[in-house]
Amino acid sequence: RACLSIYLLITASSRHYVDRLFDLDPQKVLQGVIDMKNAVIGNNKQKANLIVLGAVPRLLYLLQQETSSTELRTECAVVLGSLAMGTENNVKSLLDCHIIPALLQGLLSPDLKFIEACLRCLRTIFISPVTPEDLLYTDATVISHLMALLSRSRYTQEYICQIFSHCCKGPDHQTILFNHGAVQNIAHLLVSTSYKVRMQALKCFSVLAFENPQVSMTLVNVSVDGELLPQIFVKMLQRDKPIEMQLTSAKCLTSMCRAGAIRTDDSCIVLKTLPCLVRMCSKERLLEERVEGAETLAYLIETDVELQRIASITDHLIVMLADYFKYPSSVSAITDIKRLDHDLKHAHELRQAAFKLYASLGANDEDIRKKIIETENMMDRIVNGLSESSIKVRLAAVRCLHSLSRSVQQLRTSFQDHAVWKPLMKVLQNAPNEMLVVASSTLCNLLLEFSPSKEPILESGAIELLCSLTQSENLALRVNGIWALMNMAFQAEQKIKSDILRGLSTEQLFQLLSDSDVNVLMKTLGLLRNLLSTRPVSLCFAFIQVSLNKCTNQCQEKFERILYVHWNLVIIQLHLMINSVACSFQQKHFVVSLNAFLCNSPRTTRGLYLSIKVWRGTYIKKTCVYFFLSPEIWLFLPNYMESTGFLNLTAGLCT
């Protein structure tokens, strides 16, 4: 009963604030809004009560009325901004009342204080995760007007840049901002006297340049006060600058480097950006800084072997990353209980970042992979990471495992000792596509002929899983599925080959042969080659020969179309497949069937014929010559063969 009385008292007090908004005296309304502003500061319960009691629609009404004084409209915007600083439910309630169009309309006012109040409220709403970024782009004139407001004051510069940096979430948004002159309008803000303005402008450039070559190429040539932007970014990397500025500058330079605007061997990358990001991985840094530093560094070195080697020997980075899995330790220096509680809840982000960086470090160099695996309990950490509750950690752990699985030595030793195939097979069950792609790529490596994990993976029912992947609408999954089956069939027992053929079925096999992607076709031909490469193969021949006979004209036309475009790749696989079976008498009828399939149309044969005439490589020419010298082909196209002068063309090559 006492609690109910207190609740009623609070509600009555909140009702009093709302009632004053409807007073007929404008001065009393203004004073009521000011009192409301003071009452809600730092009081989330009061904010929630006022929203429930209907304060938001009335505040928006007063804000939009031209009869309201500028001071009243400004105070209404301030109160709405304060309400938005509460919980996410508060922001949802404001969005339901269509607050964004009202605030954007307020930006047309000539009064600077009112504009700043509207922008501050908009900033607060747009940085909330519940606000759709596309709301900023519904009206094409909004971006142009915001660009024009950048010159009004340092507050408009700070708020607008912050809005842009939070609402730029992809290439479409980047293009819109770029086409409205974002680079030119924001560049000069990097030398502003206000730290907040410089910082928000820097963040804006970091999202604009991310995976965007057009923006990156433009940034590298822009100068401010006679200094190019990359030089300004490098100055912001200096140790005496705030950590936030160092990190964001490094992100800008990283994006420009990955986009090709800056060379990977440029001194600003090798001597400035990379060392800065390694510093951010130190245990002296805050959790958020260590996470962002490691993930940015992983992105920077992901595709460049030399950067990977430099990073691996900088400040003992590989050993330093091992501390990411021990955080927070029992002797943690954190004395702030709230900070410790926060870090405990977000410690999984450190593990995710460490796995990502290890994956990039070990992408190419065998010595680096060896150092990573020899790090304390590394394989155990990867195995544990594959079973974590966080899907992001699991994905990062799979990426790390994929990177390390490129090592022949580790496949034979560490991977076998820790039976990594077991948690990997669990990951492949009902996983999202992004994780399936990486996990199936890893499985391809584990199924290589020299991998000890191949046999237990086969016994765990991998064939059925991989055959299902070949039917996926996702191209990467189809490629990985058929690739893994190709590896599995290499020098495999007859039973395994038969299981693969039964799992794929005739229809699926030729669906893969008629796939529009040449990689799927190449791997399918590779699978057929491996299925036919060892004896006894009577069952495989019978199955494939029946499949060839059932092949529809539509399938053949698709195959011809791909062959006509990618003949230089496909004919090598065809030649290897034919050679692997042509040596046996019992396989003669299969060769006839295959040649009939390939040569049933002059267009297919002409593609092979042109490869002899055009291709400069001796191996390709010999491949085609061997194909044409097969006696069976003359059964199908004797006139074409003679009319093209094939014998004259090949005589010189054969001699």
For 357-383, write each residue's pLDDT tens digit.
999 999 999 999 999 999 988 999 999
Q: Rounded to the nearest 5 degrees, what angle is found at the Cα of 522, between the Cα atoms of 516 and 528? A: 115
Tell me: pLDDT of 10 over 60. Answer: no
Distances (CA, A) of 35 to 20, 22, 79, 483, 597: 10, 14, 10, 69, 86
Tell me: pLDDT of 640 over 70. Answer: no
Tell me: pLDDT of 123 over 80. Answer: yes
Buried b (16+ CB within 10 A) or exposed e, 544-562: bbebbeebeeebbebbbeb
Q: DSSP assignment, residue 324?
A: G
Tell me: pLDDT of 634 over 50. Answer: no
- Residue 38 pLDDT class (50, 70, 90 cuts): very high
Q: Which residues, at least 6 apart from 459, have a Cβ–Cβ distance to it below 8 Å?
A: none
Distances (CA, A) of 409 to 406, 412, 420, 451: 9, 5, 15, 9
- Contact (CB, 8 A) for 274 and 334: no
- How confident is the model at residue 616, as a pLDDT? 44
* Average pLDDT of span 418-434: 88
Question: Of 80-84, 110-114, 195-199, 487-491, which range is least confident?
Answer: 487-491
**What is the rounded end-to-end Cα distance, in angstroms, of the chain?**
107
For 285-334, write each residue's pLDDT tens digit.
999 999 999 999 999 999 999 999 999 999 999 999 999 998 765 445 55
Question: Of 27-31, 375-379, 633-637, which range is least confident?
Answer: 633-637
Tell me: pLDDT of 180 over 60. Answer: yes
Burial zone of 281 (CB within 10 Å; 0-12 exposed, 13-18 middle, 19+ buried): buried
- How confident is the model at residue 162, as a pLDDT? 97
Distances (CA, A) of 463 to 443, 499, 503, 576: 12, 7, 7, 24
Tell me: pLDDT of 638 over 70. Answer: no
Question: Comparing C-alpha atoms, which of 571, 504, 492, 495 is closest to residue 533?
Answer: 492
Average pLDDT over the chain reads 83
- Residue 515 pLDDT class (50, 70, 90 cuts): confident
- How confident is the model at residue 333, as a pLDDT? 53
For 381-418, write each residue's pLDDT tens digit.
999 999 998 999 999 999 999 999 988 888 888 888 88
SS3 223: strand
Number of other residues whose CB lies within 10 A of the CB of residue 650: 19
Tell me: pLDDT of 8 over 50. Answer: no
For 582-624, write each residue's pLDDT tens digit.
444 444 444 445 555 444 544 455 544 444 444 444 544 454 4
- Contact (CB, 8 A) for 106 and 118: yes
What CA–CA distance (Å, rounded) separates 252 from 78? 33
- For the record, the structure tokens of 653 come out as 């090559």
* Average pLDDT of span 549-553: 51
- How confident is the model at residue 560, as a pLDDT? 52
| Torsion angle (degrees, nearest 10) of CA 86, 89, 95, 100 | 20
Tokens 């196209």 sit on residue: 637
* Average pLDDT of span 524-538: 70
What CA–CA distance (Å, rounded) separates 358 from 369? 9
What CA–CA distance (Å, rounded) separates 567 from 329? 59
**What stretch of H or E contains 227?**
strand 227-228
Tell me: pLDDT of 211 over 70. Answer: yes
- How confident is the model at residue 619, as a pLDDT? 46
Tell me: pLDDT of 174 over 80. Answer: yes
Percent of the chain whose pLDDT exceeds 70: 77
Number of helical (H) and strand (E) elements in the chain, helices listed first: 42, 2
Tell me: pLDDT of 203 over 90. Answer: yes
Question: Of 191-200, 454-463, 507-516, which range is least confident?
Answer: 507-516
SS3 228: strand
Tell me: pLDDT of 15 over 60. Answer: yes
Tell me: pLDDT of 550 over 80. Answer: no
Tell me: pLDDT of 649 over 50. Answer: no
- How confident is the model at residue 11, as a pLDDT? 64
Tell me: pLDDT of 500 over 60. Answer: yes
- How confident is the model at residue 9, as a pLDDT? 45
Pick the more confident residue, 122 or 417: 122
- How confident is the model at residue 217, as a pLDDT? 96
Helices (H), 493-645: 494-513, 518-531, 538-550, 553-582, 588-599, 602-614, 618-629, 633-636, 638-643
What CA–CA distance (Å, rounded) separates 343 from 349? 9
* Average pLDDT of span 576-586: 49
- How confident is the model at residue 610, as a pLDDT? 46
Give pTM, 2 decimals: 0.82
What type of residue is 482? I
> For 92-161, what is the HEC assignment?
HHHHHCCHHHHHHHHCCCCCHHHHHHHHHHHHHHHCCCCCCHHHHHCCHHHHHHHHHHCCCCHHHHHHHH
SS3 300: helix
Q: DSSP assignment, residue 297?
A: H
Tell me: pLDDT of 569 over 90. Answer: no
* Average pLDDT of span 237-262: 96
Q: How many residues does the chain have?
A: 655
- For the record, the structure tokens of 570 come out as 């496909």
Percent of the chain whose pLDDT exceeds 90: 56
- How confident is the model at residue 418, as a pLDDT? 85
- Residue 356 pLDDT class (50, 70, 90 cuts): very high
